A and B are shown apart, each in its own frame.
Chain A
Amino acid sequence: MSSIRQADSQQADAPRAESVLSLRGIRKTFGAVAALTDVDLDVAAGQVVAVVGDNGAGKSTLVKILSGVHPPDSGTITFESREVHIPTPAAAHKLGIATVFQDLALCENLNVIQNLFLGQEVRPLRLNDVAMETRSWELLRQLSAKIPSVRVPVASLSGGQRQTVAIARSLLGDPKVIILDEPTAALGVAQTAEVLNLVERLRENGLGVIMISHNMADVKAVADTVAVLRLGRNNGVFDVADVSTEDIIAAITGATDNVVSQRQARSKEGLSS
């Protein structure tokens, strides 16, 4: 644990060069509660970063700061090597940070095309349905989405298909970073696999992906790095390739803070070095 912290603080001084989005020292308090304290996070293009943590660890607050719902109290956000402020959701969208919230925010009475282009219709005074439908198919094909028809109401789609529509919608503005809040939380086995494929497809397309998740299996399956939040603080950034699920869970629950695990960590270090 402590070794990871050290590694973290060394690199935390300057944003990593290849990062498309970097957070440094983000702090946010709600009244007396410090929701986030000195949180750092880096996302590179073509990288999937999973943000994990227990309930109340500050994951949602982090998402809200990035999507412009809440501004941070202090700390810097660097996007494409420029320091930026994200005061509103529209500003986040304009920068190229797209967020897919957990509840997806789709209109069930509208069809897939209408949902995809909601708020950004082509030709406002005489809607260009043909152009919108063509573009919808392009987006969905790009995600290899399995949606039989785009002219059906969203109500008739499965959970995975809805997630696909929500992700496709976030891709409309050609974002650089896409934030997925619990994308697999309410999905079955097959649909989860579908969404994980989607996440990989996003990475292949060169987007930076921040995935909030509770599900270790999903994290291990698609993420490149895992950033753990615990009680509003960074509690380690791991490479998924060389970390076990147990270690991630230990970081999430804080089980490493006891004497036994610290001894174990020391002895492991001694062995490896």
Chain B
Amino acid sequence: MLTTDRQDERLQSREGLRGAITDVVERARGGDLGVIPVVVGLIVIWTVLQILNPVFLSSANLVNLTLESAAVGVIALGIVCVLLVGEIDLSVGSVSGLSAAVLAVLFVGQDLPVWLAIAASVVMGAVIGWVYAQLYNRFGVPSFVITLAGLLAFLGLQLYVLGTKGSINLPFDSGLVAFAQLDFVPAWLSYTFAVLAAGGLFLTGYVHARERRRAGLSAKGVPVLALRSAALLVVLLFVVWYLGQTRGVGWMFVFFVALVLIMHYFLSRTKWGRSVYAVGGNVEAARRAGINVKAVYTSVFVLCSTFAAVGGILAAARLAAANQSSGAGDVNLNAIAAAVIGGTSLFGGRGTAFGALLGIIVIQSISSGLTLLNLDSSIRFVVTGVVLLLAVVVDSVARKSRTSHGRA
């Protein structure tokens, strides 16, 4: 008895485990690489850096790496959203810096409660995104130019807000700094999270498969689902155990991962997510399908700037200070590079929230590894630039391959 979606005789039937594996291999050959390039890249980078400096893969360094990646990772998450609709935000660095400055001034300078300072910074980020969206929707100015103007303007505003002192320290006894530097998930809770994640993956997969089977559609079998969840469980348990050798998993990193999961849900399981991909794929088609295209643009610009502001707060908390160089330097480029390295296409309509997570780990590994080697930041910039270029080349080549394999 064939299921509804498997009746065409041209479909090669791929059942069970072996079929699932064949599918993955075939898809990769067709240029639908998914996370393969970034995982391969990560393995290469880690191997090389480990050979150059044996401290690199130590538990202590990896714990540090996770904490360092959270701030820029959150910003990259916003970049993924704007890239999905085929636009770009070049001002995320400045916005994050401004957000850090506003936080510090309100929290330390004005003695406001920390939650109010955080809320103000986040709202400010949202307003900036809204302004970008208005400029984009009303005047049709390319986002690249709007945000380039924003890059400079908000850098200026950040310097103005910080005033002549140019640097404000956040008190160490505040919860915010503790959250970014000292708070780690207890071991038992980390293991619980790992088990919950794997269990959740299996359960959602199982329920979905049962629903599909009831509707007469083909579905993944229990062995495939179980294997997938078991693999995730093993990886997560190992990560938790290894990081637990020293300080463990930081709450800030958990916060970042939670944001990634939430964004993943919204992008893949809601109508809004569909319209984001649709606008990135073909704006005119989206408009004719009745999607409010302007609202979609507004939502992604607001999200991106908001995430930039949140990233700025995390960075300030991590550093326990906001200064003139907050959000300056390579923050902008790192965030964009992380999104692109994570498989988000610059051409729009392709990419996932997990891309931000994987991408930022690659970027942060390079940065951390080169710092361990005592290399100058000049070399770090060059290497990061080359890696970004490589990621874009992989994106373009994969795009060509997809076109020729009919998967674009």
A residues whose Cβ falls under 8 Å from a Cβ of B: 89-90, 93, 101, 103-110, 114, 118-121, 124-127, 129-131, 133-134, 137, 146-153, 155-157
Among B8, B272, B274, B285, the most chain A Cβ lie within 10 Å of the Cβ of B285
Contact with A along B284-327 (1 / 0, CB 8 A): 11101111000000000000000000000000000000000000
Q: B407's contact among A104, A119, A120, A156, by CB below 8 Å, is which?
A: A156
Interface membership of B205, Cβ < 8 A: no
Indicate if the CB atoms of A109 and B5 lie closer than 8 Å: no
Residues in A with CB closer than 8 Å to B247 are none
Q: How far is the CA of A213 from the CA of B406 in the complex (A)?
A: 28
Q: B288's contact among A101, A120, A152, by CB below 8 Å, is which?
A: A101
B239-280 residues with Cβ-Cβ distance < 8 A to A are: 269-272, 274-275, 277-278, 280
B1-42 residues with Cβ-Cβ distance < 8 A to A are: 4-5, 8, 10-11
Q: How far is the CA of A19 from the CA of B72 in the complex (A)?
A: 63
In the complex, 19 of the A-B residue pairs with CB atoms within 8 angstroms, ordered by the A residue number, are: A105-B284, A105-B288, A107-B281, A109-B349, A109-B350, A118-B285, A118-B286, A119-B275, A121-B271, A121-B274, A124-B270, A124-B272, A125-B270, A127-B271, A127-B274, A134-B217, A149-B11, A151-B5, A155-B408
Indicate if the CB atoms of A124 and B271 lie closer than 8 Å: yes
Q: B289's contact among A118, A134, A156, by CB below 8 Å, is which?
A: A118
Give the 9 A-B CB pairs with smallest separation, nearest first: A156-B406, A119-B289, A107-B281, A124-B271, A109-B281, A105-B285, A109-B349, A155-B408, A148-B8
What is the distance, in angstroms, from A86's C-beta to the closest C-beta of chain B?
15
Complex: chain B residue closest to A156, CB-CB: B406
User: What is the interface size of chain B, counting residues whose CB is below 8 A from a CB of the partner?
Assistant: 37
Complex: chain B residue closest to A151, CB-CB: B5
Q: How far is the CA of A107 from the CA of B408 in the complex (A)?
A: 10
What is the distance, in angstroms, from B298's C-beta to the closest C-beta of chain A?
17
Q: How far is the CA of A125 from the CA of B270 in the complex (A)?
A: 5
Q: How far is the CA of A232 from the CA of B242 in the complex (A)?
A: 77
Residues in A with CB closer than 8 Å to B216 are 134
Indicate if the CB atoms of B280 and A119 lie closer than 8 Å: no
Residues in B with CB closer than 8 Å to A153 are 407-408
Residues in A with CB closer than 8 Å to B402 are 155
Q: A109's contact among B10, B270, B280, by CB below 8 Å, is which?
A: B280
Q: How far is the CA of A106 from the CA of B284 in the complex (A)?
A: 9
Interface membership of B212, Cβ < 8 A: yes
Complex: chain B residue closest to A123, CB-CB: B271
Interface membership of B192, Cβ < 8 A: no
Residues in B with CB closer than 8 Å to A137 are 4-5
Indicate if the CB atoms of B407 and A105 lie closer than 8 Å: no
Interface membership of B215, Cβ < 8 A: yes
Residues in B with CB closer than 8 Å to A89 are 288, 290
Residues in B with CB closer than 8 Å to A131 are 215
Q: A107-B349, A149-B5 are in contact. Are A127 and B286 (CB under 8 A)?
A: no
Residues in B with CB closer than 8 Å to A149 are 5, 8, 11
Indicate if the CB atoms of B290 and A133 lie closer than 8 Å: no
What is the distance, in angstroms, from A43's C-beta to the closest C-beta of chain B?
22
Q: A105-B285, A109-B280 are in contact. Are A130 and B290 (CB under 8 A)?
A: no
B321-344 residues with Cβ-Cβ distance < 8 A to A are: none
Q: How far is the CA of A241 from the CA of B98 in the complex (A)?
A: 74
Among A118, A131, A148, the most chain B Cβ lie within 10 Å of the Cβ of A118
Indicate if the CB atoms of A108 and B281 lie closer than 8 Å: yes
Complex: chain A residue closest to B408, CB-CB: A155
Among B208, B269, B288, the most chain A Cβ lie within 10 Å of the Cβ of B288
Q: B277's contact among A107, A119, A148, A152, by CB below 8 Å, is which?
A: A107
Q: How far is the CA of A237 from the CA of B285 in the complex (A)?
A: 33
What is the distance, in angstroms, from B220's C-beta to the closest C-beta of chain A?
13
Complex: chain B residue closest to A147, CB-CB: B8
Indicate if the CB atoms of B285 and A106 lie closer than 8 Å: yes
Indicate if the CB atoms of B282 and A119 lie closer than 8 Å: no
What is the distance, in angstroms, from B151's C-beta to the closest C-beta of chain A?
29
What is the distance, in angstroms, from A67's C-beta to the closest C-beta of chain B?
9
Query: Assuming A109-B280, A153-B407, what are 20 further A-B pairs, CB within 8 angstroms?
Result: A101-B288, A106-B282, A107-B285, A109-B282, A109-B349, A110-B278, A118-B274, A118-B275, A118-B285, A119-B291, A121-B274, A124-B271, A125-B270, A125-B271, A126-B270, A133-B5, A149-B5, A152-B407, A155-B402, A156-B405
Q: How far is the CA of A103 from the CA of B211 in the complex (A)?
A: 36
Residues in B with CB closer than 8 Å to A90 are 290
B183-211 residues with Cβ-Cβ distance < 8 A to A are: 208, 211
Complex: chain A residue closest to B349, CB-CB: A109
Indicate if the CB atoms of A155 and B282 lie closer than 8 Å: no
Complex: chain B residue closest to A114, CB-CB: B274
Indicate if the CB atoms of B290 and A119 lie closer than 8 Å: yes
Q: A90-B290, A121-B274, A153-B408 are in contact. Are A134 and B8 (CB under 8 A)?
A: no
Indicate if the CB atoms of A108 and B275 lie closer than 8 Å: no
Q: How far is the CA of A31 from the CA of B272 in the complex (A)?
A: 39
Residues in B with CB closer than 8 Å to A129 are 208
Residues in B with CB closer than 8 Å to A133 are 5, 212, 215, 217
Residues in A with CB closer than 8 Å to B406 are 155-157
Residues in B with CB closer than 8 Å to A104 are 285
Interface membership of B371, Cβ < 8 A: no
Interface membership of B403, Cβ < 8 A: yes
Complex: chain A residue closest to B402, CB-CB: A155
Complex: chain A residue closest to B271, CB-CB: A124
Q: How far is the CA of A129 from the CA of B274 in the complex (A)?
A: 12
What is the distance, in angstroms, from A69's C-beta to the closest C-beta of chain B?
10
What is the distance, in angstroms, from A100's C-beta to the closest C-beta of chain B?
10
What is the distance, in angstroms, from A192's C-beta to the closest C-beta of chain B?
20
Indicate if the CB atoms of A107 and B278 lie closer than 8 Å: yes
Q: B278's contact among A118, A126, A127, A151, by CB below 8 Å, is which?
A: A118
